[in-house]
């Protein structure tokens, strides 16, 4: 018989967090969603607030939290460059102090804790694809450092709690993920292009559009997180989570224009500092240990996401 678990999701009202909360509820768990609404609105989880097994708490994880749960997913942290660069000090505090608070909680409860790490720990990588063994190429004081180095420090903190206090940690390095429930003003490339195309506004390509990213549809990613959490305590990661199909940003723009039928033009803008030139995960470890690989292609995922934004924007 399924035993109902009490699961804490920090950043639970954000893009990934809201999908994770829904999936956990569907699997008959009690979900405690904690968020300070820094980069999301309550709207993402508003419909869940009447669910008998869902609880929403407004709380900033840089402040300690005492609750009783069986598992923790630590997702709290702005993920879009425009959001994490808006208040870089708070971004570092969330990555480091927030993680320390959640790890202290996991230590007291002796429970598993998943950390939403990122492909950004590889910085502007000199190896492609990126394997977990690659140490990365990160500018420690550039405009992305608050996030990249914050997440790297968080990984160091997670492994230190594992070594020193035997906290069962699970580090997932998430690569660019997209899908329904992204905020239209989120600022990340997939939502920007779709919203611009649907509004017949120019698609803003930063640089020449030759930089690459590998885009994972949100359902695939959530499936990977759930599988990882279900593994035994010896599997700490880090494990890359993402779709290994690599596209240039110009190719992405062309697909969005094709699938929306938009007549938007392309507006080339300056490339922001330290923007990584390439990104592609090696997912051998996820395949081997989690029996996981993405099943939704970029074309299919883009069509689902476009349809979500069409409904939302009424176009």
User: Which positions lie near ligand NAD, rule CB under 6 A?
Assistant: 10-11, 13-17, 35-40, 60-62, 75-79, 83, 94, 98, 116, 118, 174, 176-177
Tokens (6 digits) for 91:
């971004």
Burial class (CB in 10 A: 0-12, 13-18, 19+), 299: exposed
Residue 29 interaction partner, one of ligand NAD, ligand UDP, none, beta carbon < 5-8 Å per kind: none
Which residue of the set 73, 84, 122, 147 is catalytic?
147
Q: 298-313 vs 249-260: helix axis angle to the nearest 10? A: 60
Q: Which is nearer to ligand UDP, 159 or 268 (CB)?
A: 268
Helices (H), the chain: 15-26, 43-46, 81-84, 88-93, 99-109, 145-165, 189-198, 218-229, 249-260, 284-290, 298-313
Q: Which is nearer to ligand NAD, 181 or 262 (CB)?
A: 181
Asked if residue 275 binds ligand UDP (CB under 6 A), the reply is: yes
| CA proximity to 219, closest of 15, 32, 30, 76 | 15
Residue 61 interaction partner, one of ligand NAD, ligand UDP, none, beta carbon < 5-8 Å per kind: ligand NAD
Tokens (6 digits) for 224:
């990977």
Asked if residue 197 binds ligand UDP (CB under 6 A), the reply is: no
8 Å CB contact between 197 and 262: yes
8 Å CB contact between 146 and 81: no
Residue 35 interaction partner, one of ligand NAD, ligand UDP, none, beta carbon < 5-8 Å per kind: ligand NAD
Residue 69 interaction partner, one of ligand NAD, ligand UDP, none, beta carbon < 5-8 Å per kind: none
Binding-site size for ligand UDP (CB under 6 A) equals 14
Whether 147 is catalytic is yes
| Footprint on this chain of ligand UDP (rule: CB under 6 A) | 80-81, 176, 188-189, 192, 204-206, 211, 213, 249, 272, 275
Active site residues: 147
């Amino acid at each position: 018989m399924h035993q109902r678990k009490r699961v804490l999701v920090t950043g639970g009202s954000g893009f990934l967090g809201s999908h994770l909360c829904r999936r956990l509820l569907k699997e008959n768990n009690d979900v405690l969603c904690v968020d300070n609404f820094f980069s999301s609105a309550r709207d993402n989880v508003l419909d869940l607030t009447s669910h008998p097994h869902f609880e929403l708490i407004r709380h900033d994880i840089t402040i300690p939290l005492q609750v009783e749960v069986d598992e923790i997913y630590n997702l709290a942290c702005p993920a879009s460059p425009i959001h994490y660069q808006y208040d870089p000090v708070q971004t570092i505090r969330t990555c480091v102090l927030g993680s320390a608070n959640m790890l202290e909680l996991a230590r007291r409860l002796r429970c598993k804790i998943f950390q939403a790490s990122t492909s950004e720990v590889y910085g502007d990588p000199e190896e492609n694809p990126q394997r977990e063994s690659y140490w990365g190429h990160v500018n420690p004081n550039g405009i992305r450092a608050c996030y990249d180095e914050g997440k790297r420090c968080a990984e160091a903190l997670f492994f230190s709690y594992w070594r020193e206090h035997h906290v069962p940690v699970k580090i997932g390095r998430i690569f660019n993920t997209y899908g329904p429930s992204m905020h239209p003003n989120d600022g990340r490339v997939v939502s920007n292009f779709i919203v611009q195309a649907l509004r017949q506004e120019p698609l803003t390509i930063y640089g020449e559009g030759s930089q690459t990213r590998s885009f994972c549809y949100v359902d695939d990613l959530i499936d990977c997180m759930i599988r990882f959490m279900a593994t035994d305590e010896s599997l700490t990661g880090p494990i890359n989570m993402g779709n290994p199909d690599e596209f240039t940003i110009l190719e992405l723009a062309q697909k969005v224009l094709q699938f929306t039928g938009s007549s938007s033009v392309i507006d080339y803008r300056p490339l922001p500092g330290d923007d990584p030139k390439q990104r592609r995960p090696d997912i051998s470890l996820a395949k081997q240990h989690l029996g996981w690989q993405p099943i939704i292609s970029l074309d299919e995922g883009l069509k689902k996401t476009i349809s979500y934004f069409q409904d939302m924007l009424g176009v």
